[in-house]
Structures are given as structure tokens and as C-alpha cells.
């Protein structure tokens, strides 16, 4: 099963296409999810650490198309038009 079958969607305003790669135990990933929800934005996310190894590999490869290395959370807006690495409340508010 491809990892994309595990992507979750949080409902809200769909001003932009937002996809987040995250980890369940990442404090900054949780803060980013809370911020996006508080702002009322629809977003999709995948907690990579919940996937089987082969699907994790596929998810990392997709994430690495936008950012070299592994930084969580990685937020991809409008399919790569903008990428936010790590938690940045100011940057997220400015972009959204």
C-alpha cells in the first residue's frame, strides 16, 4: 500500500494546498498542527513514524524532493511553491 493512502486531512478553509510531513513524537510537528488548526486552514499530513519501513522510505523520498535532509515538520504549500522547514509561526502566518 502506498504511504499516500495513510495521509490524513484536517478540514478547514482551503486557501492553499498544504501538506505536512511529521512525526508523532515531534513537539514542533504538534505545534504546527495546532497552529494550522487554530488558523482554520485545511491541511493534510502524514506521521512518517507510523508507516511500515517501505512506506516510510517512499514518504522520505517524496519529502526530500522539497528539502535536502530530514527536518520536521516539513510543510509543503501548493505542491512546492513554498516550503517551511521546522516550526515557524511567523512564516506560517505570513504565507497563509
Q: Are 26 and 74 a contacting pair, CB within 8 Å?
A: no
pTM attached to this predicted model: 0.92
Residue 58 lies in a domain: yes
Any domain includes 33: yes
Q: Is residue 96 part of a domain?
A: no
Q: How many domains does the chain have?
A: 1
Query: Do the Cβ atoms of 60 and 74 come closer than 8 Å?
Result: no
Task: Please indicate, yes or no, if residue 63 is contained in any of the structural domains.
Answer: yes
Q: Which domain holds residue 50?
A: 3-87
Looking at the domain assignment, is residue 92 inside a domain? no
Interatomic CA distance for residues 12 and 27, integer angstroms: 22
Query: For position 20, which CATH number holds?
Result: 3.40.30.10
Going residue by residue through the chain, which has 96 residues, state the pLDDT in tens, using 9 for 90 and above: 799 999 999 999 998 999 999 999 999 999 999 999 999 999 999 999 999 999 999 999 999 998 887 899 999 999 889 999 999 999 988 877
Amino acid at each position: 500500500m502506498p504511504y499516500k493512502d495513510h495521509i490524513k486531512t484536517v478540514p478547514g478553509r482551503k486557501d492553499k494546498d498544504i501538506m505536512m510531513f511529521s512525526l508523532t513524537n515531534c513537539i514542533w510537528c504538534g505545534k504546527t498542527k495546532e497552529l494550522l488548526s487554530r488558523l482554520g486552514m485545511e491541511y493534510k499530513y502524514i506521521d512518517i513514524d507510523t508507516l511500515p519501513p517501505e512506506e516510510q522510505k517512499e514518504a522520505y523520498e517524496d519529502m526530500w524532493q522539497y528539502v535536502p535532509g530530514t527536518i520536521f515538520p516539513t510543510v509543503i504549500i501548493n505542491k512546492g511553491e513554498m516550503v517551511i522547514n521546522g516550526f515557524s509561526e511567523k512564516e506560517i502566518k505570513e504565507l497563509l
